[in-house]
Amino acid sequence: MSAHELHGESHRNCKHLLADLSDYLDGEAAAEVCAEIERHLAECADCRAVVDTLRKTIYLYRTLPQPALSPNARSRLFAALALPE
């Protein structure tokens, strides 16, 4: 029996967790949202792994040198991500 089967309520909250994850990691989520996420993470090893991996990815992105992109590559990337340049 998996941890999610043992904690059925936790499993149902996994998708809900993802909706607020960015604000949580950026320190912009409301205190009650943070508390809810932290309760869920205490019970769900899968979500802890996702959060830890994302936290490390953000850290590396913010601390490592960023490669220079050619204007063409930048335009293609922004178009693919549907971001305004």
How many CB atoms sit inside 10 A of residue 67's CB? Answer: 6
Domain spans in the chain, listed from the N-terminal domain onward: 3-80
| pTM (two decimals) | 0.63
Please state, in angstroms and rounded to a whole number, the distance separating the CA atoms of residues 39 and 55.
Answer: 18
Q: What is the pLDDT along the chain (85 residues), one digit of tens a residue?
A: 344 444 455 456 688 788 889 899 999 999 999 999 999 999 999 999 999 999 999 999 899 998 888 999 989 988 998 877 6
What interhelical angle do 8-25 and 45-63 show, nearest 10?
Answer: 10
Nearest to 18 by CA among 37, 39, 4: 37
